[in-house]
Every structure is written in C-alpha cells, then in structure tokens.
Amino acid sequence: MPRRLRLTIDLNRPSGSQVLFVMMNPSKATSQISDKTVNGVIKYTYEKCLDLSTVSRIVVLNLYTVYETASSGLANLTEQYGYDCVVGNDSQCEITNDELITLESGRSEILIAAWGRPSASTTILRESGYFRRVREVLELIADHRPYHMDTYLREGLYPKHPRGIDYSWVLSRLDTAKLLRAFR
C-alpha cells in the first residue's frame, strides 16, 4: 500500500523558518512530482501570504498517510489495512505519523491546519476514523497555536484545504479547544 508520511519542499530563499501544513491525505505528490495542491501551497507560501514571507522550508504532513484521492476511499482502506496503518502509526513505519507531527510542529515557526471538509458522508467518515483522527491531531498540535487559512472554517468545523486555494486568504488562529469539543 503506497504511503507518504512527509513531504519537504525547500524554497529558493537563503535562510528562514519552516511552515508545517497538516492536510488530510496525500494524493500523488512526491519529492519528485508535484500536484495542483502542492503547487498552490508553494505559491501561497512563496508569493502570496505576507505572514509566510520568511519561510524557506515547507513541510506537508497529513491526517492519513495513504495515497487516496477520494476521501470516501479512506473507509475501505481502513477496513482493509486497519486504522493504525492508514494513519501511519503502525510498526512498519520507522517513525510514526504522530511522532512526525509532534517533531515537525516543534521545528516549525508556523503550523497551518489545512485538512479541509471531506466529501465523504458522515457514515463513511466515522468508518474511516476521521473524527477520531481529527481529535488526535488537534491534541498533538494544540500547544503550537496553529493557524488555518482564511477568516472562517467551513461549516464552522473544517480548516480549508489548499486544493481550492484563494490567494487572498489570510492566516487566522485555529481555536483547537472549540474544535476538540465539537469533535467529541
């Protein structure tokens, strides 16, 4: 099963800080091949967001580590391989996804929650462990005072995903305590 735990992009800036984007799941980008979402993140970071003007490195992590373009497919993968494997916290990983989130959160000057609103139904989201996973990651990143893109969350719950990025989006603080209560 193809997985990606971390994607690191060094920008053409001599020195600077690191930004961490936590998205939902990788689609196809690797260290060799980009995709529309990663291109949008690079452009937003490098050219469009003044708060990120000193960033020289982008790190992308995800709630889930498996390659799956459609969020509806996550439930099938979870059923087939198990929750820990799909989120990257199994024994086959040299470093677990949760350990990476913790490590890279500490290394990053700015952390951006960007996992978006899944297109899957609530039933499929529950079967894939989505709500559980969001709670786990919120608990890991809460002390790092994360941001989200734009001034509001979709449906008041979901940090916007960069696949539909609007380059006018500003960074806003994410109220992790409020979200943790909502996802109980």
Question: What is the per-residue pLDDT across 47-105, written as a single tens digit (0 to 9) for each?
Answer: 999 999 999 999 999 999 998 878 788 888 999 999 999 999 999 999 999 999 999 99
Question: What is the per-residue pLDDT across 142-177, written as a single tens digit (0 to 9) for each?
Answer: 999 999 999 999 999 999 999 889 999 999 999 999
Which residue in the block uniquely carries the two structure tokens 């989201």?
125
Residue 90 · residue 5 · CB < 8 Å? no
Q: What does the pLDDT read at residue 32?
A: 82
Q: Is the pLDDT of residue 31 over 80?
A: no
Token pair, residue 69, equals: 């373009």
Instruction: Read off the pLDDT band of 21 (50, 70, 90).
Output: very high
Which residue in the block uniquely carries the two structure tokens 């529309």?
36
Q: What does the pLDDT read at residue 39?
A: 92
Q: Is the pLDDT of residue 30 over 80?
A: no
Q: What does the pLDDT read at residue 28?
A: 79
Q: Is the pLDDT of residue 17 over 90?
A: yes
Alpha-carbon gap, residue 21 to 115, rounded angstroms:
9
Q: What does the pLDDT read at residue 127?
A: 80
Strand order from edge to edge, sheet including 147-149: 7-10, 55-62, 17-23, 110-113, 147-149, 171-173
Q: What does the pLDDT read at residue 144?
A: 97
Q: Is the pLDDT of residue 44 over 90?
A: yes
Q: What does the pLDDT read at residue 27?
A: 79
**Which comes out higher in pLDDT, residue 1 or 131?**
131
Which residue in the block uniquely carries the two structure tokens 């040299």?
94
